[in-house]
């Protein structure tokens, strides 16, 4: 009787052990099947200017796979089974485009797509009364300023980024002629100013009358007046993160402007495939213009120079950015003396 029970118990244990071994051998096969396929990645850009298009929707037609481009226009659809698909790309303000894609093997496949801009026609809209539209806001403490909004804001003589911040709530200035600003009672040195990630310690010209930022090179500016992310450390009051635009990828272009305060020239264009460059220079005309009316009224001048080169590769985008500025004070009966000079160079990389 006891030997019969022992035999039955041994048979049951053997069956359980055999089932476990079969299940363990089958599990890796299902895991490999789930992970089989190739990654489809690439960049979505404007067909006219070559500028990257953020927020574009990229989907594989007939499947539930897709992605959205990031701020640099890059997308990634992972683990796509082998086969032939139609890649559909769409974005607000652009024509929808469909590109055939043949996925083979398990290696990453790069598919770059260029889409054409589309004018959105609507019915006639009559605006009777409206003040200047408020700046784009993400939250109560974050404001996004674009070049179009800078053009619509009132300016004295020339557009100025830091002077335009004074229209935001919680930001004040010491006087009507100064571009220096203070945020909610904080000191001026408690504001963090960034130009493409580079810290700018002296962002003003002529003792605070003008800022060093040329509006023609700005893509957008993020202004944090409170609760800014931990990555922006070292300051207490605010963060102004200025992002510059890339050069034109399709043709040579430029912009020149002269007023009684300064003269500037901006040039940009392509440099091979998916490469671009941009150079911008500005010099003050304050001394030459005001001294014609009031002798020895403005014993100061300033200069700015910014350059940016971007190179696109199969693994990402690499760039070189540099900026230099200087202020000169010319006291009466004395030679020109440099008051302040600042220079910054950055080599960023990746998408």
- CA 285, CA 318: separation in Å to the nearest integer? 36
CB atoms inside a 10 Å sphere around CB 206: 18
Do both 86 and 220 map to the same domain? no
Instruction: Select the more confidently predicted residue: 256 or 141.
Output: 256
The pairing of beta strand 38-46 with beta strand 109-110: parallel
* Burial of 85 per CB tally in 10 Å (0-12, 13-18, 19+): buried
The last residue of a domain, from among 67, 84, 115:
115
Do both 171 and 89 map to the same domain? no
**pLDDT of amino acid 4:** 57
Helices (H), the chain: 2-35, 147-152, 161-164, 286-290
The secondary element (H helix, E strand) that includes residue 58 is: strand 57-60
Is residue 235 assigned to a domain? Answer: yes
- Is the predicted pLDDT of residue 6 greater than 80, yes or no? no
The last residue of a domain, from among 82, 115, 148:
115
The secondary element (H helix, E strand) that includes residue 51 is: none
Do both 263 and 316 map to the same domain? yes
| Phi, psi angles (nearest 5°) of residue 8 | -65, -40
Do both 67 and 171 map to the same domain? no
- CA 163, CA 137: separation in Å to the nearest integer? 18
Do both 150 and 272 map to the same domain? yes
pLDDT digits (tens, 9 = 90+) for 256-309: 888 877 888 999 999 887 889 999 999 888 766 666 665 655 557 788 899 999
| Phi, psi angles (nearest 5°) of residue 318 | -120, 145
- Is the predicted pLDDT of residue 348 greater than 50, yes or no? yes
**pLDDT of amino acid 24:** 41
- Is the predicted pLDDT of residue 334 greater than 50, yes or no? no
How many folded domains does the chain comprise? 2
Is residue 97 assigned to a domain? Answer: yes
| Closest to 43 (Cα-Cα) out of 125, 99, 4, 103 | 99
Is residue 15 assigned to a domain? Answer: no
Average pLDDT over residues 12-39: 50
Do both 194 and 46 map to the same domain? no
Residue 302 lies in domain: 136-346
CA atoms within 13 A on the CB side of 80: 30
Cβ contacts of residue 75 below 8 Å, gap of 6+?
41, 42, 43, 44, 56, 58, 67, 68, 69
CA distances from 152 to 134, 149, 198 (A): 11, 5, 27
* Burial of 90 per CB tally in 10 Å (0-12, 13-18, 19+): middle
Do both 107 and 186 map to the same domain? no
Cβ contacts of residue 157 below 8 Å, gap of 6+?
259, 260, 261
Cβ contacts of residue 156 below 8 Å, gap of 6+?
none
Do both 142 and 100 map to the same domain? no
- Is the predicted pLDDT of residue 60 greater than 50, yes or no? yes
Is residue 213 assigned to a domain? Answer: yes
The pairing of beta strand 74-80 with beta strand 38-46: antiparallel
Tokens, residue 314: 């199969």
Mean model confidence pLDDT for the chain: 77
CATH number for 246 = 2.170.130.10
Do both 97 and 143 map to the same domain? no
Do both 187 and 228 map to the same domain? yes
Is residue 283 assigned to a domain? Answer: yes
Is residue 12 assigned to a domain? Answer: no
Do both 49 and 146 map to the same domain? no
Kindly indicate the confidence band of residue 87, based on its pLDDT and cuts at 50, 70 and 90.
very high
Is residue 178 assigned to a domain? Answer: yes
Is residue 264 assigned to a domain? Answer: yes
3-state secondary structure of 44: strand
CATH number for 75 = 2.60.40.1120
- Is the predicted pLDDT of residue 170 greater than 50, yes or no? yes
Do both 243 and 293 map to the same domain? yes
Tokens, residue 171: 């930001």
Q: Name the range with the highest mean pLDDT among 13-27, 32-46, 87-101, 133-147.
A: 87-101
pLDDT digits (tens, 9 = 90+) for 183-211: 887 777 788 889 888 888 888 887 777 78
| Closest to 46 (Cα-Cα) out of 95, 114, 111 | 114
């Amino acid at each position: 009787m006891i030997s019969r029970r022992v035999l039955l118990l041994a048979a049951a244990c053997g069956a359980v052990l055999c089932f476990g071994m079969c299940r363990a051998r089958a599990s890796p096969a299902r895991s490999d099947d789930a992970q089989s396929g190739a990654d489809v990645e690439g960049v979505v850009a404007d067909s006219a200017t070559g500028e990257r298009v953020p927020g574009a929707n990229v989907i594989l037609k007939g499947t539930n796979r897709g992605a959205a481009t990031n701020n640099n226009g890059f997308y990634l659809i992972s683990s796509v089974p082998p086969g032939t698909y139609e890649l559909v790309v769409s974005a607000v303000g652009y024509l929808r485009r469909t590109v055939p894609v043949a996925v083979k093997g398990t290696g990453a496949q790069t598919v770059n797509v260029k889409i054409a801009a589309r004018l959105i026609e609507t019915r006639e809209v009559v605006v009777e009364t409206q003040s200047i539209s408020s700046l784009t806001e993400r939250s109560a403490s974050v404001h996004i300023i674009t070049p179009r909004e800078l053009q619509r804001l009132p300016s004295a003589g020339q557009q100025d980024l830091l002077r335009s911040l004074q229209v935001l709530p919680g930001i004040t200035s010491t006087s009507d002629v100064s571009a220096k600003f203070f945020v909610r009672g904080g000191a001026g040195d408690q504001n963090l100013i960034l130009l493409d990630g580079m810290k700018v310690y002296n962002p003003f010209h002529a003792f605070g009358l003008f800022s060093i930022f040329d509006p023609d090179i700005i893509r957008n500016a993020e202004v944090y007046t409170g609760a800014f992310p931990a990555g922006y450390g070292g300051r207490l009051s605010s963060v102004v993160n200025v992002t510059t635009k890339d050069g034109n990828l399709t043709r040579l272009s430029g912009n020149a402007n002269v007023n009684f305060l300064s003269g500037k020239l901006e040039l940009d264009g392509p440099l091979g495939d998916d490469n671009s460059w941009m150079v911008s220079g500005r010099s003050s005309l304050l001394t030459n213009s005001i001294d014609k009316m009031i002798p020895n009224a403005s014993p100061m001048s300033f200069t700015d120079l910014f350059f940016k080169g971007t190179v696109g590769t199969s693994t990402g985008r690499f760039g070189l950015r540099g900026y230099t500025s200087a202020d000169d004070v010319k006291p009466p009966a004395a030679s020109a003396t440099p008051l302040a000079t600042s220079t910054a160079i950055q080599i960023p990389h990746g998408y």
